[in-house]
């Protein structure tokens, strides 16, 4: 039985492949949380969930003054991150380095970024939420990715598939039903 799987055919599986550069921009421009991993002073991994803004090849993140992870980033800039949308199984993951732009302050460069984030994550009520916290000091970091990987759709990347195991081929397993 011959099964064909057009590369861009949209089915219930979605597009089963990595994202194009434009799809990455569109995906990261939405209100999708980032899972950000950094290192504690004793070298243990620490993971947090945060809002981000993707702009000009950087992720911008704004920790609150007393966020442990802000201190961790200030001490060791190495990070790993995942931006993931469970609904369509889209994800962007990678590693990079965080650059400290601002130490905790009120009214700094973080304000316009936080304003855009508030709209992106909370819609029209975003600024209402933000306004009540404007007098709370925040850090500002930008993360420069050194590696990005992407995926979308309901299916495995070919590199994970083991053929000749007695089950269906990659093409058969990923054909539309």
pLDDT, tens only, 53-72: 999 999 999 999 999 999 99
Whole-number pLDDT of residue 2: 38
Tally: H helices and E strands in the chain: 5, 7
Contact residues for 83 (Cβ-Cβ < 8 A; gap 6+): 27, 28, 32, 33, 34, 35, 52, 91, 92, 93
User: Residue 9: what pLDDT?
Assistant: 52
Q: Per-residue DSSP letters for 99-124?
A: EEEEEEESSSTHHHHHHHHHHHHHGG
Whether residue 7 is predicted with pLDDT greater than 60 in this model: the reply is no
CA-to-CA separations, 4 to 17, 19, 115, 176, in angstroms, rounded: 15, 21, 47, 9
User: Quick check: 176 pLDDT over 70?
Assistant: no
Q: pLDDT (tens digit, 9 = 90+) per residue, 90-111?
A: 999 999 999 999 999 999 999 9
Fold designation for 21-152: Pnp Oxidase; Chain A (2.30.110)
pLDDT at 150 exceeding the cut of 90 = yes
Q: Considering the entire predicted model, what is its pTM?
A: 0.87
Q: Given a cut of 80, is residue 10 above it in pLDDT?
A: no
Compute the mean pLDDT over every residue in the chain, rounded to the nearest whole number.
Answer: 91
Beta bridge partners of 47: 37
Half-sphere exposure of 113 (CA within 13 A, CB side): 23
């Amino acid at each position: 039985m011959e099964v064909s799987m057009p590369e861009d055919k949209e089915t219930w599986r979605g597009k089963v492949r990595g994202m194009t550069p434009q799809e990455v921009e569109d995906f990261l421009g939405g209100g999708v949380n980032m899972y950000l991993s950094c290192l504690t002073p004793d070298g243990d991994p620490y993971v947090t969930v945060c809002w981000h803004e993707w702009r000009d090849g950087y992720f911008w993140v704004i920790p609150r003054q007393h966020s442990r992870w802000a201190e961790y980033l200030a001490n060791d800039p190495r990070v790993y991150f995942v931006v993931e949308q469970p609904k369509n199984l889209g994800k962007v993951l990678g590693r990079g380095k965080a650059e400290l732009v601002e130490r905790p302050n009120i009214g700094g460069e973080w304000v316009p970024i936080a304003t855009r984030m508030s709209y992106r994550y909370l819609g029209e009520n975003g600024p209402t939420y933000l306004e009540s916290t404007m007098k709370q000091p925040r850090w500002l970091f930008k993360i420069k990715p050194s590696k990005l990987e992407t995926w979308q759709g309901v299916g495995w990347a070919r590199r994970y598939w083991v053929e000749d195991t007695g089950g269906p081929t990659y093409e058969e397993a990923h054909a539309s039903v």
